[in-house]
Chains A and B, each alone.
Chain A
Amino acid sequence: MEYSLASLVSSAEGVGIARAARLNEIRYNGLKAEEINERMRQALAVMRQSAERGFDPGTHSMSGMTGGQAVKLMAAAQDGRTAGGGYLGRAAARALAIAESNAAMGKIVAAPTAGACGILPAALLTAQEEYGLTDDQLIDGLIVAGAVGEVIAARASISGAQGGCQAECGSAAAMAAAALVCVRNGTAQQCADACGFALMNIMGLVCDPVRGLVEVPCVYRNASGVAGAFVAADLALAGIPCPLPPDEVIDAMKAVGEQLPPSLRETGEGGCAACPSACGRRGPGE
């Protein structure tokens, strides 16, 4: 199986990208159609639960560094106190909620990783709320996101230790952007373009967890990652072609990851982790 967005787009001709992605899983990866539907439905249910739990103001990580903030953003978005409007605010709040829930040992779906688990579900669940989408449409979006994620994982990396945060939150944003285009009835090429835009716009983002924990800045990057996904999807849905072939952008992301020094690849030594205030900080949980 050739891992490229170009081949995914060409296989979608006449059948659409969601169906093409399903057929690829059946043909090349030995999955069964019913298994795909059933397991994706379960994943969607866990995503929904993780979003709900993250809005519990009592959610706190063991380090005490994160938790309880998503509920504030959701309230601000619902009360019209945000600058980015209700829809974007609710999406960012949901991404933050899921990421905070993850940091507090909640049950989540890694998408593609645990550290970036808030972005894809926040994009799809908030689009469902806004546009009245069915769960079946969301499952199509998840399958497209998975197909895009496979291409990124095969050509580049989805590991922060290997490729920096661009490989984790960047990949999640690219997957979410493609899923959003799918559920908003864009074309297969627009899904690929959205993926290209998302990665282009987040290229170089380093992985710099404070105290080595999946918390700061990770949970907030989930919130900003979903915003990036919406912008990338909108660029593509507006008919703006990605100025560079999306596969080349993925390859560039891999090359950038290799050029990042180890201090900026999940070692907790550089970037935010090296801020003086980040060293030795203790939260209420300890």
Chain B
Amino acid sequence: MNLFDIIGPVMIGPSSSHTAGAARIGRVARQLLGEQPVKAVVSFHGSFEKTYQGHGTDRAVAGGLMNMGVDDERLRRSLKLARDAGMDISFRPVKLRDAHPNTVVVDVIGASGKHVTVQAASVGGGSILVQYLDGLEVGFSGEKTTLVIRHTDEPGAIATVTHMLSSMRINIAAMRVFRREAGGEAIMAIELDQRPRDSLISALKILPAISDVTLLDQI
């Protein structure tokens, strides 16, 4: 904790959890998709479902999907801006089991046909926790530069990635790996102390075990 955790953040109101946190979740989904969505289905659970209109949670998520930050004045008008930009965005209630009261599921499709589903919770003070990516448990906050790698669960996949990071003097702050089944689809979520160069991302992408790489900047 430092001074600016108390005097800050600078944000669009009214609620750090229901507005600022929601905008950050939208932005994570946008970055994981890697392009502006043409279609977005946003499902609100718990307190989010009950109060989303009054807190502007819908506008916040839409703004995040348009890559706006938590202090972007355009958040107020984001629903119109998103629709003007050709995004078909809709909101609906959902009941999830054992989920944090401020949870949202964002289902987005890009013009390229890429499809991403993110489940995340706004856990207080604008902080978020990304819990599931395409149904696979992940668990990262977006507060650090985060490398999200989709790969095949096979021996050496993790070692290759960590070796490439270490050879570029990039330190891993936290790392989690999840797989759908042994030998099946898996995801690494790696939180980093330094931002890797784009060349590392390109080098990772051509590895046979790796199907997709996304670098999330601090959100």
Q: What is the interface of chain A, defined by CB distance below 8 A to chain B?
A: 21, 25, 29-31, 36, 39-40, 42-43, 46, 61-63, 101-115, 117, 120, 142-143, 145-147, 149-150, 153-154, 158-159, 161, 175, 211-215, 268
Task: List, in ascending order, chain B residues with CB within 8 A of A212's CB.
Answer: 47, 50-51, 54
How many B residues touch A, CB cutoff 8 Å?
34
User: Can you give 13 A-B contacts (C-beta < 8 A)?
Assistant: A29-B1, A43-B7, A105-B19, A105-B76, A106-B12, A107-B12, A110-B9, A110-B11, A114-B20, A117-B13, A153-B5, A214-B18, A268-B51
**Judging by beta carbons under 8 Å apart, are B3 and A143 in contact?**
yes
The answer for the CA separation of A96 and B12 in the assembled complex, in Å, is 17
Measured CB to CB, the closest approach of chain B to A73, in angstroms, equals 19
**Judging by beta carbons under 8 Å apart, are A213 and B55 in contact?**
yes
The answer, among B3, B14, B50, B124, for a CB contact under 8 Å with A36, is B3
**Judging by beta carbons under 8 Å apart, are A107 and B73 in contact?**
yes
**Judging by beta carbons under 8 Å apart, are B13 and A109 in contact?**
no
Task: List, in ascending order, chain A residues with CB within 8 A of B20's CB.
Answer: 114
Residue of B nearest to A101 (CB): B13
Measured CB to CB, the closest approach of chain A to B99, in angstroms, equals 16
Hey, what's the 0/1 contact readout for B116-129 against A, CB within 8 Å counting as 1?
00000000111000
Do A42 and B10 contact each other (CB < 8 Å), given the known contacts A114-B16, A161-B124? yes
Q: Is there a chain A Cβ closer than 8 Å to B59's Cβ?
A: yes
The answer for the CA separation of A177 and B19 in the assembled complex, in Å, is 28
The answer for the CA separation of A117 and B8 in the assembled complex, in Å, is 9
Do A105 and B6 contact each other (CB < 8 Å), given the known contacts A153-B1, A212-B47? no
Do A105 and B56 contact each other (CB < 8 Å), given the known contacts A113-B16, A114-B16? yes
Residue of A nearest to B53 (CB): A62
Do A62 and B56 contact each other (CB < 8 Å), given the known contacts A108-B11, A115-B15, A215-B14? yes
The answer for the CA separation of A114 and B55 in the assembled complex, in Å, is 12
**Judging by beta carbons under 8 Å apart, are A110 and B14 in contact?**
no
The answer, among B9, B12, B124, for a CB contact under 8 Å with A159, is B124
Q: Is there a chain A Cβ closer than 8 Å to B212's Cβ?
A: no
The answer for the CA separation of A268 and B15 in the assembled complex, in Å, is 14
Task: List, in ascending order, chain B residues with CB within 8 A of A102's CB.
Answer: 13-14
Task: List, in ascending order, chain B residues with CB within 8 A of A107's CB.
Answer: 10-13, 71, 73
Task: List, in ascending order, chain B residues with CB within 8 A of A114's CB.
Answer: 11, 13-16, 19-20
Task: List, in ascending order, chain A residues with CB within 8 A of B18's CB.
Answer: 214
Do A105 and B3 contact each other (CB < 8 Å), given the known contacts A115-B15, A211-B51, A214-B13? no
Task: List, in ascending order, chain A residues with CB within 8 A of B73's CB.
Answer: 107
**Judging by beta carbons under 8 Å apart, are B3 and A213 in contact?**
no
The answer for the CA separation of A69 and B1 in the assembled complex, in Å, is 35
Residue of B nearest to A24 (CB): B3
Residue of B nearest to A103 (CB): B14
Task: List, in ascending order, chain A residues with CB within 8 A of B56's CB.
Answer: 62, 105
Do A40 and B7 contact each other (CB < 8 Å), given the known contacts A114-B13, A114-B15? yes
